[in-house]
């Protein structure tokens, strides 16, 4: 789900809202082409000035947060009594990571990424960045190797604040050997890459084996009509919780969260990334707090990276 702007639609009819949304999306897609071209120039300059990438050591073995933080729907629950300008500070006081969703729809600018790096101040805070739909939804990994390298400069700018790149594919993107090969061949092995599929055909041993060989993280999902499994293809696991029955609306019980926590514990992973995308009703931050407490009791993953 995208980050919300905090603005309401007023008295617009559903048709007017859909039209406005379509116009906004069309503009974003056109802007993405221009922004990606600018980032390409920035990457070439960066590689000329700094041939070695800065070390990106992470201090923790468990990162739990939400998929986005700026949701108007949370104003009366998670952000109750807090001015909108202080929302990020409140979020960063509760969690040590966030999954940037806005980058799926709008290719980030270098200045914007630099602002992300400054935003947490002195806090140990890490971003996972969703890769722009220009790569995953529009071009669908067809001739996108240069675009992926260009997008990768975000990690160099964020430095120690960089978590994973999340490549989310649409539900219509079904498994084929050619598509699998295209993904594996184009991803930069120097980055921490996680790939989320929305069609169940990708849950198969050929995909797992290819990802293991390439060091790519298979993103496990709690979502409608998707396999309810924790898949480990690298020394780190990645889990997104959307809601097992309805997208973005499920309020996870402690028992459900405990089951996922136990799977992560048994996986023997060196590090775990968990993001809640059930933002409707403000469930995500509440569920994330509970899950963090459950994983804090997990000795295996806490000791693994020491």
This prediction has a pTM of: 0.88
Domain assignment present for residue 21? The answer is yes
Domain assignment present for residue 4? The answer is no
Domain assignment present for residue 295? The answer is yes
In this prediction, residue 214 carries a pLDDT of 98
Domain assignment present for residue 8? The answer is no
Domain assignment present for residue 154? The answer is yes
CATH number of the domain to which 230 belongs = 3.20.20.410
Domain assignment present for residue 47? The answer is yes
Q: Are 79 and 71 in contact (CB under 8 A)?
A: no
In this prediction, residue 152 carries a pLDDT of 96
Domain assignment present for residue 1? The answer is no
In this prediction, residue 306 carries a pLDDT of 34
Number of domains within the chain: 1
Domain assignment present for residue 279? The answer is yes
In this prediction, residue 255 carries a pLDDT of 94
What is the span of the domain harbouring residue 26? 14-51+59-304
Each of the 306 residues of the chain gets a pLDDT tens digit; together they read 334 333 344 577 877 777 787 777 778 888 889 999 998 998 998 888 765 655 567 878 999 999 999 998 899 999 999 999 999 999 999 999 999 999 999 999 999 999 999 999 999 999 999 999 999 999 999 999 999 999 999 999 999 999 999 999 999 999 999 999 999 999 999 999 999 999 999 999 999 999 999 999 999 999 999 999 999 999 999 999 999 888 988 999 999 999 999 999 999 999 999 999 988 888 999 999 999 999 886 544 544 433
Residue 291 CA: distances (Å) to CA of 128, 183, 238, 260, 285: 18, 31, 14, 9, 10
User: What is the distance between the alpha carbons of residues 284 and 274, in angstroms, rounded to a whole number?
Assistant: 11
């Amino acid at each position: 789900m995208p980050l919300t702007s905090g603005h309401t639609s007023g008295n617009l009819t559903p048709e007017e809202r859909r039209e406005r949304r379509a116009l906004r999306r069309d503009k974003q897609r056109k802007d993405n082409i221009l922004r990606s071209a600018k980032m390409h120039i920035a990457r070439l300059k960066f590689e000329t000035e700094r041939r070695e990438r800065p070390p990106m050591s992470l201090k923790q073995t468990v990162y739990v947060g939400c998929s986005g933080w700026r949701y108007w729907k949370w104003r009366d629950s998670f952000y109750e009594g807090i001015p909108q300008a202080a929302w990020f500070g409140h979020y960063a006081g509760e969690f040590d990571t966030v999954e940037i969703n806005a980058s799926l729809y709008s290719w980030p600018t270098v200045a914007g990424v630099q602002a992300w790096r400054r935003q947490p101040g002195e806090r140990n805070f890490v971003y996972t960045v969703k890769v722009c739909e220009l790569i995953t939804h529009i071009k669908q990994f067809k001739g996108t190797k240069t675009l992926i390298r260009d997008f990768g400069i975000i990690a160099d700018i964020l430095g120690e604040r960089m978590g994973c790149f999340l490549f989310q594919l649409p539900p219509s993107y079904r498994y084929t050997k050619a598509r699998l090969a295209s993904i594996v061949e184009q991803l930069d092995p120097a980055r921490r890459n996680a790939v989320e599929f929305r069609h169940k055909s990708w849950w198969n041993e050929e995909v797992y084996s290819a990802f293991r060989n390439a060091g790519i993280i298979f993103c496990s999902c709690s979502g409608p009509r998707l396999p309810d499994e924790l898949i480990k293809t690298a020394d780190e696991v990645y889990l997104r919780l959307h809601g097992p029955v309805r997208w973005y609306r499920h309020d996870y019980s402690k028992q459900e969260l405990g089951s996922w926590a136990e799977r992560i514990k048994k996986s023997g992973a060196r590090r775990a990334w968990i993001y809640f995308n059930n933002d409707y009703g403000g469930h995500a931050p509440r569920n994330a707090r509970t899950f963090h407490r459950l994983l804090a009791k997990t000795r295996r993953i806490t000791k693994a990276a020491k």
